[in-house]
Structure 1
Amino acid sequence: MTVKVLLVDDQSLLRLGFRMALDSQADFEVVGEAGDGAQAVSMTRALRPDVVLMDVRMPVMDGIEATRRIVAERSPARVLLLTTFNLDEYVFAGLRAGAGGFLLKNVPPADLFSGIRAVADGDSVISPAVTRRLLDAFAAHLPDPETGRSASGDRLARLTDRERGVLGEVARGHSNAEIAAVLGVTEGTVKIHVGRILGKLGLRDRVQIAIFAYESGIVRPGTNRHV
């Protein structure tokens, strides 16, 4: 399959560099380039890419707001954010807006390619451990656990006890294999539980599962356990 990619960055030289890299791969097709978030939204609507490779800081409209609007329009495109600094606060906001993950702009080409492919397949390019560190680092941006628990109570009630346990393990940064070992089930069973959690809570990926768990108070920032 060919993955259609829309490049979004206000620096034309960076777009050129990414285009040259992606053109070296037979399964990528760059369908367009945008210089700001507003263009990204309209071009995503018109070109229907599989992945939008989105810069965070741009004029007119930044990548966070553009991501939010693309997701709000229920576009099938997945957004992969690009940032200069690891654990950038804007990246956290972008994940909450619905982005499928983030990469640093100086990412090696092989990691860029695998990241785009993963996002196109509906996965996240952020490893579980990095997800946990990201959320812990920006714990101050999260609501008070009691407030979050109250606001999320109705949605949490949709989950079984086992699904709540899996949700907590995902937020703690454990892979499916690690969760299977902890719970004494098969990895396939864990995948089924993760899929049901996504469906019941109306979430897109494991990143949003982790964010929901932190916001609802199931997992406390700065700890390695869920409550």
Structure 2
Amino acid sequence: MPPAKPDGRTGTVMFGIPPRAWLLPLLLSAMAALWGVPVTGGMISCVHRNPCMNTEALQERANCVARNISSAHDWRILLQMKHFRKITRWPKLHSCVMTRVAGFYERALRRKLGLEPTDPIGHHRGPIVDLIGLMHDLETCSRVDKKKCQVLVANAEKMASHEKPTTKMKPRDWAIRQIQHLNQALEKLSDADTLDKAMDELKFLHNYIKGTGIRKWAKAQ
């Protein structure tokens, strides 16, 4: 056994143990006795966080709704992922675009049920109704700056839509392009092919949610 060392604070003898080394285990044990929390070597966390957006439920129900839909429409509503990723790195752009996406899909899903935008859901049940609720969640989870989003939307409405993308396009340009695609599709929702295209692309929407503009965790109640 190593020789005893005096404790500089109290003058008591601590047998080779640093003065404060025994405090943490005692503190953890006391907390466990008080709160009934299992003691581990790591940090104790009593906070349970729920995901803000249930992307698994979104993917599952979207696949269910679009199971027998195959659109031959060659015009895209959602940008190709390689282009959309340029938006996801910018929180204000990504959140603004995703609120527009959520609004578009709520209208499209209501159309699928034969409802107008202001009609109550009523007796309707099933995956389409679940998806409408998930679109509300998507809006809630967006870190949107309303003023800057309004400016972006206004620019998208007054700017001409270029037919072909160019290498000079910046993230803001891609965000404007995406909003323009959504606006154009919204005007054609009464067309069955456009509605089918929207449902077909809905199967991949969970990939577009991943980015800096969407909160990962729900706000504490």
Which TM-score tier does this pair reach, normalised by the shorter chain?
A: under 0.3
TM-score, structure 1 normalization: 0.22
* Rg larger for: 2
| Structure (1/2) with the larger strand percentage | 1
TM-score, structure 2 normalization: 0.22
